[in-house]
Structure 1
Amino acid sequence: MDAHDIDDPFSDLDLEKAIHLRWTLRDIKAHRLTLSPIADDDLSLLTERGLVEVSDGVPTLTEAGQDAIN
């Protein structure tokens, strides 16, 4: 992993997918999951990259997840 990967956790993905995942992080942060449910694949990807943690079935942003959308 190079420095760019640390700055952009989605650098290996196509632009459309990266934008989609950033919006998903924003939905998690704003508690909009009822209106915008997260696809299992997206949640798995975000969790694997350390951007989201799931506790009692509720996803929350990690510090890295916060950094990815700030």
Structure 2
Amino acid sequence: MYYIVSAAGGELPVDRAVQSLKVFTNCLYDIREKGVISITGVWDAGGVNGTPSIAQAYAMGKSC
């Protein structure tokens, strides 16, 4: 399981979203966390483009 989360606010909303997703996926059978990518300060659609997070997500996807 990979988590990719972005938010306009600071780290707290992103951390809380990741924690909520982890609580949910802990209820599922045979799920293992493989990575987390989080980015803050994203206000508009496409705002994550050109950031290191894109390269991270691409590398994680290739390793599946």
Same fold (TM over 0.5): no
* Greater share of residues in strand: 2
Question: TM (normalized to structure 2)?
Answer: 0.31
Question: TM (normalized to structure 1)?
Answer: 0.29
Q: Which has the higher contact order (CA 8 A, sep 6+)?
A: 2
